Amino acid sequence: MAAERGQDLVSRDQRVAWHPYASPECSPLFAVESAQGVRLRLADGREVVDGMSSWWAAIHGYGQPAIVEAIREQAGRMAHVMFGGLTHEPAVALCEKLVALAPPGLSRVFLSDSGSVAMEIAIKLALQYARAIGRPERSRLLTVRGGYHGDTFGAMAVCDPVTGMHGLFRDALPEHLFAPRPACAYHEACEAHHVEEFARLIREHRDEIAAVVLEPIVQGAGGMWFYAPDYLRAVRALCDECEVLLVADEIATGFGRSGEFFGCDHAGVVPDVMSVGKALTGGAMSLAATLVSDQVCAGLAAGEPGVFMHGPTFMGNPLACAAALASLQLLDESPWRSRVHAIETQLAAELAPCRELPQVADVRALGAIGVVELHEPVDMQVVQPAFVEEGVWIRPFGTLVYTMPPYGIERADLSLVTGAICRVIDRHCRVPA
């Protein structure tokens, strides 16, 4: 009966729903009945260890009582109210908390619904700031290859034009500037030649560039690449030299994922604008935020029209803000740093055997992120069911098989994840000719 119920749900889904990065009829597809801790219970009765934290968001795992209770209690008082001209305790308390946690100097918080929107807001802030200070010619952005910043049009325009999944729309997107992907890996020295082309671009185009946009230290869905903190320090110095804003996309890296609370913390760098999302609510609800410096706030307010031209309908949703406050409190009370360090150590050790496989180009780990990069793209029709048969949920893309588990995952469960990655790659991924 359980298997039939799950198959019925999949059949119904395939008639009416559309899934991310999928054809209208998504396949393969697995029905989930419930989620608790680090496990997803499928409708057919099987359980799988979630190695993805639901796209990096469920950092505490599922069903955390403190977050569930915060949502329940807030729903009894006020599920939603517009944020235009009104305010409420959950939103104000969350903004206060984010300012306290952020790199010093980021003093104002603009709330939104999702990471892509938070990046749209960051880009729009940079462009409006340039106009407000009398520099309307500064209408382009500079970024690095290998980046990913979201699926909306402003965000797509600063994703890698080749690996960023959005090449189909290139002709419809603004043309921005792209420096090479940082070639200095996280544990390597960053030398002058690593930053040479970036420095040339920002200096030659300084009068056109409103902001530099990049993911600090960890490039996410554009390539899962970890680069040296000194590179980020050099970028900050060049932005200061050329009077260009630095926008940090911390949506994937924020809240401890890389081993520091924010990716910028690895380099001791303070951006002018910073976007966060994903893990902000512990994966319980959709919420994001864009944090802004005093300089940007003052410049924008002094120019025309004196207000920021953006306003999401569900901005500052009380339920989501309450969930975020509960999630951040859980982080405060947990030994997240030691847990993430232990995960990194285990991932590095247990994924290392993959280096011997002919399918594998590279293996790397940083914080609670483990990556096996292949020579050839995976066949999702084969690989996704194979992972479920192994009892884990791993969602590869392109040539990348990776895991970002919840921080509280037990060693034995993480070993299930790493063992499955090694076996599935060995048995089901193509060996280059």
Identified catalytic residue from 249, 265, 272, 413: 249
Distance (Å) of CA 241 to CA 28, 61, 92: 51, 43, 35
Identified catalytic residue from 148, 227, 402, 407: 148
Distance CA 401, CA 394 (A): 8
- Asked if 363 and 344 count as a contact pair (C-beta separation under 8 A), the reply is no
Question: Is 97 assigned a catalytic role?
Answer: no
- Asked if 70 and 326 count as a contact pair (C-beta separation under 8 A), the reply is yes
Question: Is 249 assigned a catalytic role?
Answer: yes
Identified catalytic residue from 278, 402, 407, 413: 278
Question: Is 148 assigned a catalytic role?
Answer: yes
Closest among 214, 33, 53 to 123, alpha carbons compared: 214
Backbone torsions φ then ψ of 393, nearest 5 degrees: -110, 110
- Tell me the CA end-to-end span of the chain in Å, nearest whole number: 45
Question: Is 21 assigned a catalytic role?
Answer: yes
Distance (Å) of CA 430 to CA 357, 361, 419, 427: 11, 12, 18, 9
Side-chain-side CA neighbours of 33 within 13 Å: the count stands at 15
Which sequence positions are flagged as catalytic? Answer: 21, 148, 249, 278
